[in-house]
Structure 1
Amino acid sequence: MEGFIIKKIQKNRLVELTIASLFIILFTVGLYRLNYKNTDNKIIYDVGAMDQLKVLTNGSEIKHDIIVENDTINNISFMIAEYSKVKEQSLTLKIYDNNNLILNKVQNISNLNNDKLITFDFKDIKIEADKKYYFTLNYLAPDNTELMLWKNDLKDENLSFYINGEQIKSQLCQSIGYKKTYKFQYVFLGIILISLIGLFIKHTMINLNKNTIKSSSIYLIMLTSLIILNKELFYESRNIDFTNISIVLSSGLLIYLLLLCGNKLKEEYQKVYTTIMFLLVPLVLLFIIETFNNNILFDMNIKIIILNYLCILMLQIFIFCIVKRINIAIIANSIIFYLISIVYYFTFLFRGTPILPTDIYGIKTARNVMMNYDIRMDFKIISMIIILGLLIVGCLQANYIIQDKKNRIKLKLLMAIFLSVFVITIKFSFDFAGVSVNLWRQDLGCKENGAIVNFIANMKYLKIEKPNNYSNEKVSEIIDTYVDSDIVTDYSNEIKPNIIAIMNESFADFDIINKIDTNKDYMPFIRNLKENTIKGNLFVPTFGGGTALSEWEFLTGNNTSFIPAGSTPYQQYIHSSSDNIASNLKLQGYKTIAIHPLEGDGWNRENVYKLFNFDKFITIDDFENPEKLRYMYISDKDNYKKLIEEYESKSENDRMFIFNVTIQNHGGYSTDNSVFNDEINLIDRNYDDVNEYLTLIKKSDEAFQELVDYFSNKTEPTVILMFGDHYPSINNAFYEDIYGKSLQDLSIEEDQRRYTVPFIIWANYDINEGYIERISANYLSTLLLEVANQPLTGYNKFLKSLYNKYPVINKNIYIDSNGEYNQIIEGNEPSEINDYEIIQYNNMFDNKKNQNVFFEPN
């Protein structure tokens, strides 16, 4: 019997050592592939020590001083350690004499012929010998792509490069916007190696019972399926990426082995181990969530790190107080925060802003939009899944139970007190850590505060506070000034036209940010439209998404500067009839129609449009076999056909107000899902998503021309307004490219350019033509009513007066009539802007004392 047991133990140890040996093989293969091996996709040359490499990621820019003995430069080369042949990679070289640019050259990395060097060839540049110049290198690439260049040696920060074929020793200047990067591969390979050492030392006997074998086998099948099916992660250019496969597989097998090792820790170690896991896991979860938010955890302020850590720990304590099992509390907390991390990751990926408390109201819209995005499981997600798996497996052993009932009660009481104290003192804790909400740039706030703390800090804005100086008397004073005002329109005639307002999805002009070069004009008709036309620059409150905000400002004349950041009035604040341009025109005898060729429940439009007094709402269900250029997005051309169809169905004496929100240009710009070839292409820039977007804008321009041509041939007077709701959600590298700097370094004026879109008002009869340099979306409906010669409400008159002093109030900034930019600071804003906030609050939230007369035409 004794011999049998010994043989059993030896057999089980042999199984364990066999699996551990497999780990070592996979570890070695992964490390080898990572550092020394070539594939058709990834070119790697003797990487060696990481300290000897300069790692560039998307947006990285480095700056060097150079002194050259010769008076001519005709090429510069840089030594490559590693690069990938994925598309959309480029390296831009700029040479400066002081601050004067003397060379700007772009090299497409994916098409390199010489795999040892990146060489910039150019015509001879005359320079002064022995004079100090400097150059910059800017790397643009898809996320998770890196370029590694050699430095001179391990301790030297200078790049190794050649001018005219001669190696240069140069001095590295201060890094500009240099981004640190972590190679997850090394982290996980290190984890695996440490775990292997521990397994060899431990010599655990494997308990191969049937249930363990069964569950573990299912796990192995799932892991294998993941590798086979996920071609984006593991297969590139028809070549197997052994690096990723060996890392994921070996990490997965480590979890598998730990599942098989079912022995409990000795009791004297159990208490210590459970305590360590209870305190350590929240820190790992913080690392995961900040990684998904592109934050480098240990670059954050230590107070902010501790505060975020405590927030995660508090939820874990709360769960423990409910479930009464430490390991279950840790595992549940881990899963919750991993799911939160995933949601954060995709939210930022698709719209460029972090999650805020009010996003819960936009779940339906998010569902409809997400259906049309190409969601892929990238290496970052897989890496974090592996860490989560290791955490969960590790937590299975954290099952120490206090046997004494009194001690259990004391522990729970202590945790409850700790949790209560934290909740009570959270405001003080936030103030102590220096937490502040960045209403101007929530993405920067998320980086400064951390994802969890930034989310919690924004919760205070869920409740709308009364503005400064708010009182019934103040409201009456403002209203009395304008309700019987003799303010008149600038467009006085007796025509009562049809009014069409088109908010064109993601319609923008990059030239507003900075002039771009394309093979041909992408909006030639609109640029050349002059007769009976008013054009200008419209400031909108959102970027890359959030259509409903621009829509709400236009229809109501209200302003998002006076509501919590991230909130959407359509979702949260509109629960009864609300004054707007449609209800105004309905009182004038207009038939009111809304058109949006997508599902009607997006942004709660079905309910809102009823409360806005629209007679009819046309959605995608009302279109028959429409043209779709991408995904399920109906083209502007067929959208306008439906608009014309509605116009032609009216009786001769009817007048119509049609508000049309298009969908053709919606985000998700991938040539794999379009049914057309890119007609517009950037010159000297390589961004496939931008080329597709610009081609869509060209098609919008053509569709708008057809609409204008149609109404040009109609005798019935008609006014058409078209404006964009926001800029497109595309690669941030492109925006940084045309700005010439990181988005985080933009001034207020520069940042507002990406919130500035074109607008066009055209009529098929004589109107005063003009160009408006700047106007924000909240004023646009008042301008449209003026052009159409419609009576103004007291609110419209107030807005018209306010516009003359402050033509832009947008995204917590205002621009005065002299073009000066200022931030809106509560308590220090101009009195007229404070009056605006008071009137808006009264109209939206003070239902008992709402002054409806102010919103009726007179």
Structure 2
Amino acid sequence: MQFIFIIASAFLVGFILNYAQTGDIVFSKQIVFQSNLNTYLLTVLILFFIYLGLYGLCNRFFYASAIFYVFFAIYAVADRLKVNYRSEPILPSDLSLLKNVKGLLSMVTPKIVIFMVILLIILIAAAILLEHFLGKHTLRFNYIVRLIFIALAAISIGSFYTASDNNSFTYKVLAKAGYTNYASNINQSANSNGPMLTFLGNMYVDVMDKPKGYSKQKMEKLVKKYQGVADDINQDRSNNNLSKQTLIFVLSESFSNPNRVPGVKLNQDPIPNIEKIKENTTSGLMMSSGYGGGTANMEYMTLTGLAMNQFSDSLQSPYTQLVNKQENPINISNSFKTSAAIHPFHGNFYNRNSVYKNFGIQSFRNLDTAKTEPLKYADTLPEMEYVSDESAYKDTLWQINQAKGGQFINLVTMQNHMPYTNNYTNNPFKASGSGVTDSSRTQIENFAKSINTTDNSTKEFLAELDKVNKPITVVWYGDHLPGIYDGVDIYKYNVEEHQTDYFVYSNKYARDHGEGTTKLDDATKVTDPNGFIPLALEQMDQKVTPYYALLTKVQQDAPAMAKSIDEGTNNLYVNQDSKSVDKLTKKQQKIIDDYRMVQYDLTAGKGYSRNVINK
């Protein structure tokens, strides 16, 4: 009876995981019992081995059962939440977030937390009672059998480390079972294969495919080529010491105008000040490689100039899977003698503590550095739980005054982070339209109120920068749309739901002293995070290195790029009219090929160009 229960539990949990992924009982039944029966059975087999492994560890049936159900209940709920907000399943790279459970729980509604706590208490209490009254009637095993159970569980999980190797036994078994890796759409993979197989299949990280023709000689030619491009660019630029200026990158959490989302209409513009700022300075739309999340990935692209869509699909988070394995990774802070980062949240999210250190950023102030490098301002708005943008801007102004000369500052805000369940009093914003559902209406209205507050504080921040008597340039951008537009088809409106707002602003002193530009118009309507460094350098009239010359060519002559959610390609290319581009010109393809070659060399390759391309 115990083994019948274990087998039945494996079937039940396998179905629950599929349902948690799709959120549709009919769709789940179709996948499990019709189109993808083999992958479901493979999931069931692995769950069976995991159950046995837990039994082997505990040697108590009811305790093993409680651990099994508790773990997969948490996993199923977490996967459902991530799919809801970010349209992707739980992945191995997400495990790094467990370093801060308190921070994770703050992003979940209290109802879900209470439900999970009650469920866990019931399961644990039931296990203790059942073990007390019935445990003596259940099977107990000797050490050899227990080790066999544990080994079966370990092998069934560990074998997935070679799942991406076409010649491995695991790959052949998965292929035979009908496992299909949709490289450009991880959520589609999870819908088809089940979230657990998708999770296990992404344990091994293949950073990037090796470009054809990659060699030391090829990299030497590329460095020489873009040194020539840099020489041409630098003839028309006056400033040759970036470290004398102050450059600030401001990632505004989830910032994007809801009025641009198809089928969504607000009764008034929530960001009139930023719209006016955008009219009068370098600005446009940014193509995001995330929806509802992926902040650290947009931040990585901004700081390094490297594109997410050119990495392998198994590299879901460079911060957690790549940066700390690199030696002196290329990034914009390398060009400054003084650098600082500010994030009014927990510093260990996405390994920022160690990532910033590896980037060479000298100080990092966050909620966890109260004893060493405290945030000077950490007020929240009356209706919100996160540190306000006004406080974050004040911290940035304080940081500006800590250096006599120039410096680089990276600010990542938190005010507009999910969930959008604030109890605003007299919220003036009302949402309507075909893309607004009953479940999303309040969230959209609350989000509009939240970014309206950001709109006002951003205007005040720029006004304060204009009072500073040294050259300052700000690259300000939203990282992704919030995952609240459940009434809008993300596949139909792929481009629109991946576009956020950005602007590049030089303060009055910079403009008056030839170290800042008012407005650039060339290739600025639509760009990407990896285009912000070259845009900033052009705005600052700053001479470039061969690497930044390459990024300049990519930004000016190639379409904006993002990681695609469409099947069959990892690349979403978008032109200046916000239209997707199916085929690049020969000139554009050549630039992209050079870009991909350099990116491979700097991340997954031999690093032939690392010591020379950015000098």
**Does the 8 Å CA contact 1:357/1:455 hold for their aligned counterparts?**
yes
Q: Number of paired residues? A: 558
> Quick one: which of 290, 293, 296 aligns to 1:545?
293
Q: Which has the higher helix share?
A: 2
Distance 1:331 1:660 in 2: 43
Q: Quick one: distance in 2 between partners of 1:323 and 1:709?
A: 63
Q: Could you tell me which residue of structure 2 aligns to residue 303 of structure 1?
A: 38
- Cα 1:420–1:761 shift into 2, 3 Å: closer
Query: Aligned equivalents of 1:308 and 1:823: distance in 2?
Result: 39
Please point out which of 454, 457, 480 is paired with 1:726. Answer: 480
In structure 1, the residue corresponding to 2:525 is in which secondary structure?
strand
Is 2:5 aligned against 1:277? yes
- Residue in structure 2 matching 1:500, options 248, 255, 259: 248
Cα distance in 1 between the residues matched to 2:58 and 2:471: 70
Question: Does 2:528 correspond to 1:776?
Answer: yes
Residue 312 (1) aligns with residue 47 (2): yes
The residue number in structure 2 matching 1:838 is 597
Given the alignment, which residue of 452, 466, 470 partners 1:698?
452
Give deviations 1:753-778, integer Å, cap 9, x for gaps: 22211111122325344272321111
Quote the Cα distance in structure 2 between the aligned partners of 1:726 and 1:560.
14
2:392 is matched with 639
The residue that corresponds to 1:235 in the other structure is: none
* Equivalent residues of 2:427, 2:446 under 8 A apart: yes
Q: Per the alignment, in what secondary structure is the counterpart of residue 251 of structure 2?
A: strand
Residue pair 1:326, 1:399 contacting (<8 A) in 2 also:
no
Query: Deviation of residue 579 (structure 1)?
Result: 1.8
Q: Secondary structure at the match of 2:233?
A: coil
Task: Please state whether the residue corresponding to 2:265 is helix, strand or coil.
Answer: coil
Could you tell me which amino acid in structure 2 is paired with residue 340 of structure 1? Answer: Y
Q: Judge conservation of contact 2:343–2:412 (CA < 8 Å) in 1.
A: yes
Q: How does 1:273-422 map to 2 (within 5 A)?
A: 273-293=1-21, 294-296=23-25, 297-300=28-31, 301-319=36-54, 332-349=67-84, 351-364=86-99, 367-377=102-112
Confirm or deny: 8 A CA contact 2:248 2:474 kept in the other structure. Answer: yes
Measured after TM superposition, the shift of residue 694 of structure 1 is 0.7
1:555: how far off?
0.6
For the pair 1:619 / 2:366, whether they are aligned, the reply is: yes
Is 1:793 the counterpart of 2:545? The answer is: yes
1:588-627 → structure 2 map (5 Å cutoff)? 591-620=338-367, 621=370, 622-624=374-376, 626-627=378-379
Judged with a 3 Å threshold, the aligned counterparts in structure 2 of structure 1 residues 388 and 489 are, in CA distance, closer, same or farther, namely: farther
The residue aligned with 1:488 is 233
8 Å contact from structure 1 (residues 813, 822) kept in 2 = no
**CA contact under 8 A between 1:288 and 1:384: conserved in structure 2?**
no
CA distance in 2, matches of 1:392, 1:464: 48
Q: Does structure 1 residue 473 correspond to structure 2 residue 229? A: no
* Distance in structure 2 (CA, Å) of the matches to 1:505 and 1:661: 7
Kindly provide the CA deviation profile for residues 22-55 of structure 1, in whole angstroms up to 9, marking residues without a partner as x: xxxxxxxxxxxxxxxxxxxxxxxxxxxxxxxxxx
Q: Which protein has the larger Cα radius of gyration, Structure 1 or Structure 2? A: 1
Report SS of the residue matched to 2:408: strand
In the alignment, structure 2 segments of 5+ residues that lack a partner are: 160-167, 512-516, 564-569
Q: Which residue of 1 aligns with 2:414?
A: 663
Q: Kindly tell me: are residues 462 and 392 of structure 1, through their superposed partners in 2, closer, same or farther at Cα, counting changes over 3 Å?
A: farther
The Cα of 1:536 is off from its aligned counterpart by 0.8
Residue 187 of structure 2 aligns to a residue in which SS? helix
8 Å Cα contact 2:92-2:202 kept in structure 1: yes
Report the equivalent of 1:573.
322
Tell me the equivalent position of 1:821.
581
AA matched with 1:571: T
Q: Which residue number corresponds to residue 231 of structure 1?
A: none
> Structure 1 363/546 Cα, relative in aligned 2: closer, same or farther at 3 Å?
farther
- Aligned amino acid, residue 546 of structure 1: G
Deviation for aligned residue 1:538: 0.6
Give SS of 1:536's match. strand
* Deviations 1:712-771 (CA, angstroms, capped at 9, x unpaired): 4555443222111111233x43xx2xx3xx44xx24xx2232221111112232534427
Query: Separation in 2 of the partners of 1:478 and 1:796?
Result: 13
Q: After superposition, where does 1:81-120 map in structure 2 within 5 Å?
A: none
> Closer, same or farther in 2 for the Cα pair 1:650/1:833, shift >3 Å?
closer
Identical aligned residues as a percent: 22
1:723/1:758 contact within 8 Å kept: yes
Unaligned runs of 5+ in 1: 1-272
Q: Is the 8 A contact 2:259 2:266 kept in 1?
A: no
Aligned residue for 1:678, secondary structure, equals coil
Partner Cα distance (1:490, 1:853) in 2: 20
CA distance in 1, matches of 2:153, 2:343: 52
C-alpha contact (below 8 Å) 2:520/2:539 kept by paired residues: no
Q: Using the alignment, how far apart are the partners of 2:140 and 2:389 within structure 1? A: 67
In 2, the alpha carbon distance for the partners of 1:817 and 1:625 equals 40
Residue 495 of structure 2 corresponds to residue 752 of structure 1: yes
1:805, 1:816 within 8 Å by CA — same for their partners in 2? Answer: no
- Between the aligned partners of 2:220 and 2:589, the Cα distance in structure 1 is 19
**Residue 437, structure 1, aligned to residue 197, structure 2:** no
When structure 1 is superposed on structure 2, of 425-434 and 814-823 the one drifting more is: 814-823
* Alignment deviations for residues 254-302 of structure 1 (CA, whole Å, 9 cap, x no partner): xxxxxxxxxxxxxxxxxxx344223222112213333333253422122
Cα drift, residue 318 of structure 1: 3.9
Distance 1:380-1:592 versus aligned 2 partners, 3 A rule: closer
**8 Å contact 1:361–1:572 — kept in the other structure?**
no
State the Cα distance separating 1:484 from its structure 2 match.
3.8
What is residue 809 of structure 1 aligned with on the other side? 561
8 Å contact kept, 2:219–2:609 = no
SS of the residue 1:751 aligns to: coil
Q: Distance in 1 between matches of 2:237 and 2:181?
A: 46
Deviation at 1:304, TM superposition (A): 2.4
1:533 CA displacement:
0.7
Q: Residue 451 of structure 1 corresponds to which residue in structure 2?
A: 195
Distance 1:595 1:418 in 2: 43
Amino acid at match of 1:790: Q
SS at match of 1:481: helix
**Distance (Å, rounded) in 2 between the aligned partners of 1:389 and 1:287:** 25
Q: Which has the higher contact order (CA 8 A, sep 6+)?
A: 2
Looking at structure 2, the residues matched to 545 and 513 of structure 1 have their Cα atoms a distance apart, in angstroms, of 17
In structure 2, distance between residues paired with 1:659 and 1:351: 24
TM-score (norm 1): 0.58
Structure with greater strand percent: 1
Please state how far the C-alpha of 1:539 moved relative to its aligned partner.
0.8
CA drift of 1:671 comes to 2.2
| TM-score normalised to structure 2 length | 0.79
Q: Does 1:679 align with 2:428?
A: yes
Amino acid at match of 2:306: N
